[in-house]
Amino acid sequence: MRTTEETEGFDGEASNTSMISGASSPYQPTTEPVLSRNVLGAMRCDMEYLMSYFGILKAVEVVLSLISFICIETIMMCSPCGGVYLFEFVSCSAFVVTGVLLLIFCLNLHIKVPQVNWNLTDLVNTAASTFLFFLSSLLLVCINHNTGAEKAAVVFGFLVTGVFGLNTFLAVRRWRRGNGCQGAAQTSEYMRARTASRGEMEARPELA
């Protein structure tokens, strides 16, 4: 028969052993929360942007740039080919860059990267596309061979130039309005800080 002291000692050793084995076990419960991020599931098409002026212009620019690229690609022979190559490069670049920007704005991906000035990026793209499309279309007019594909490319080139020009005008207005609001906010913040500093100086007792 075990005495009471021996029983208590045995129970203490058993509890210590269980604590040590539990501490050394690799399957320990954790209190850290498990975060599941489903980025693709959070992406949704912003129909409000797609139905706005900028969204409609972006979609028209993508379609017209693609049609212009297809028209210029159907030309089999050219001499000289400098105008054709330039128009091909401009139409393909405008289609890719503008299409990517359209996806970024429609899926609200620009909100996830606030470090980039997206309004200025859109303005630079539309202004550059306007100038390059006008230049390449004008050059294609001067050296074309009156084929159907060249005439179609010139027509769609000038059409997309007008659309890009309108988008550039609206983008400049939006950029100026955004800079004006930012400047007004900074001025208001400066005046608020200056007023608070003046109030502290008036509340401070004068030194004898």
CA distances from 30 to 21, 26, 207 (A): 17, 11, 61
| Backbone dihedral region for residue 51 (phi beyond 0: left; psi -120 to 50: alpha; all else: beta) | alpha
Tell me what pLDDT residue 176 has: 86
Please tell me the distance from the alpha carbon of residue 51 to that of residue 45, in angstroms, as a whole number.
Answer: 11
At 131, which amino acid appears? F
Q: How confident is the model at residue 73 (pLDDT cuts 50, 70, 90)?
A: very high
Mean pLDDT (whole number) for 115-139: 93
Structure tokens at 165: 């020009």
Please measure the distance between the N-terminal and C-terminal CA atoms of the chain and give it in whole angstroms.
92
If one compares 124 and 113, the residue with the highest pLDDT of the two is: 124
Q: What is the CA 155 to chain-centroid distance, rounded?
A: 31
If one compares 175 and 206, the residue with the highest pLDDT of the two is: 175
pTM for this model (two decimals)? 0.65
SS3 assignment, position 80: coil
Tell me what pLDDT residue 32 has: 44
Tell me what pLDDT residue 124 has: 94
Please tell me the distance from the alpha carbon of residue 84 to that of residue 196, in angstroms, as a whole number.
Answer: 64
